[in-house]
């Protein structure tokens, strides 16, 4: 009987933790921050291209907005949507991190990543494919994940999550199959808005995996944690992290988990930033950029860096704190607080 109470108490703690983590974003009205909005306008006006931003302080409820509902090209940021669907399927038991996938020549495509350079066939786990998809934005690993999860299932998950403007249209460097939406040629791989892609990140950060709005289950926290650790290990630090984190993140735990996306005229970044004042989500997109250089000096990447610094300086003048967020299980700290 004592064991039953212990298990029950653990579940209640997890439930309470999820409610506390998501209380602001799910139930409290957003609080606009006019000062940071004006700063974002100034940064965007100096940029030679277009900029859209949605930022959310998950502790205070403050938001920062700039054309946050403008449909934009995702580039590789749509891989966040694939990550969410993987979490949903693993939660449902229809997929497993440990299951084996086989790399084939047909799925090897150009662009970012390492798998296109390896010999086939090659066995990987689903976790391997998702990790490579995130940390080096591996396009071949992405196609492996899409094959396993199902493109239609990924889009169905995005619909169930309440997203109306966010779509994965096709595999990477592969033609779209069957009837496609009229706007697919314009957006390419995928479409979203700054606000909606922030909502994808927030689901993982707050571990709201039940698409029907139900409470979390005890196993949800480690699933979210696994995805967040992948994002935390993302190796391109030239965009939102540029001016706010300078340590060697390969040796020291980063305070930022993010997913970038890049095309010749596009630079995007969506991040969770663990600050001393609480977790902050920033979703920033640039397009029609005049600077098309593939170097660290690219203007759009500098613009994204300025956006990240402006928001963190405003909402957390004390800076970042990687230890302020439980990357392995975002439900755990709140559950421990409830116990005491």
Handedness of CA 87, 270, 252, 326 (dihedral sign): negative
Percentage of the chain beyond pLDDT 70 is: 89
Confidence of residue 339 (pLDDT cuts 50, 70, 90): very low
Whole-prediction pTM value?
Answer: 0.90
Q: CATH 3.40.710.10 in the chain: give the residue spans.
A: 76-182
Within 8 A by CB and 6+ apart from 178, the residues are none
CATH class label, 76-182: alpha beta
Confidence of residue 180 (pLDDT cuts 50, 70, 90): confident
- Average pLDDT value for residue range 311-339: 85
- Average pLDDT value for residue range 258-280: 98
Does the pLDDT value for residue 25 go beyond 80? no
Q: Which residue has the tokens 């979203």?
A: 192
- Average pLDDT value for residue range 301-329: 97
- Average pLDDT value for residue range 171-177: 95
Does the pLDDT value for residue 18 go beyond 90? no
Beta bridge partners of 103: 122
Confidence of residue 197 (pLDDT cuts 50, 70, 90): very high
Provide the token pair at 11: 């579940």
The answer to which of 122-126, 157-161, 213-217 has the lowest mean pLDDT is 213-217
Is the backbone peptide bond immediately before 121 cis, with ω within 30 degrees of 0? yes
**Average pLDDT along the chain:** 90
CATH class label, 1-70+193-340: alpha beta
Q: How far is it, in rounded angstroms, from Cα 118 to Cα 146? A: 19
- Average pLDDT value for residue range 218-244: 97
Conformation bin of residue 207: beta by default, left when phi > 0, alpha when psi is -120 to 50:
left
Confidence of residue 4 (pLDDT cuts 50, 70, 90): very low
């Amino acid at each position: 009987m004592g064991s039953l109470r212990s298990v029950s108490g653990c579940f209640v703690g997890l439930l309470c933790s999820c409610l506390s983590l998501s209380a602001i974003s799910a139930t409290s009205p957003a609080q606009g921050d006019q000062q940071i909005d004006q700063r974002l306008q100034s940064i965007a006006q100096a940029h030679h291209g277009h900029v859209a931003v949605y930022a959310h302080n998950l502790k205070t409820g403050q938001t920062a907005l700039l054309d946050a509902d403008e449909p934009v090209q995702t580039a590789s940021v749509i891989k966040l949507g694939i990550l969410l669907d993987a979490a949903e399927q693993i939660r449902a038991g229809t997929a497993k991190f440990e299951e084996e996938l086989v790399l084939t020549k047909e799925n090897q495509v150009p662009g970012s990543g390492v798998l296109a350079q390896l010999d086939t066939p090659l066995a990987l786990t689903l976790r391997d494919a998702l990790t490579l998809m995130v940390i080096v934005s591996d396009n071949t690993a992405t196609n492996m994940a899409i094959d396993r999860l199902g493109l239609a299932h990924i889009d169905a998950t995005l619909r169930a999550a309440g997203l109306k403007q966010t779509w994965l249209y096709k595999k990477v460097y592969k033609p779209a199959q069957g009837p496609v939406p009229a706007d697919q040629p314009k957006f390419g791989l995928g479409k979203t808005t700054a606000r909606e892609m922030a909502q994808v990140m927030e689901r993982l950060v707050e571990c709201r995996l039940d698409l029907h709005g139900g409470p979390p289950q005890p196993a949800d926290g480690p699933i979210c944690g696994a995805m967040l650790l992948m994002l935390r290990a993302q190796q391109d630090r030239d965009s939102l992290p540029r001016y706010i984190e300078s340590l060697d993140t390969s040796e020291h735990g980063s305070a930022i988990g993010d997913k970038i996306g890049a095309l010749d005229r596009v630079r995007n970044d969506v991040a969770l930033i663990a600050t001393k004042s609480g977790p902050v989500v920033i979703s920033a997109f640039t397009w029609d950029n005049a600077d098309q250089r593939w170097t660290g000096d690219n203007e759009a990447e500098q613009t994204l860096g300025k956006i990240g610094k402006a928001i963190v300086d405003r909402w957390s003048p004390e800076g970042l704190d990687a230890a302020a967020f439980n990357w392995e299980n975002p439900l755990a700290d709140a559950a421990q607080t409830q116990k005491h």
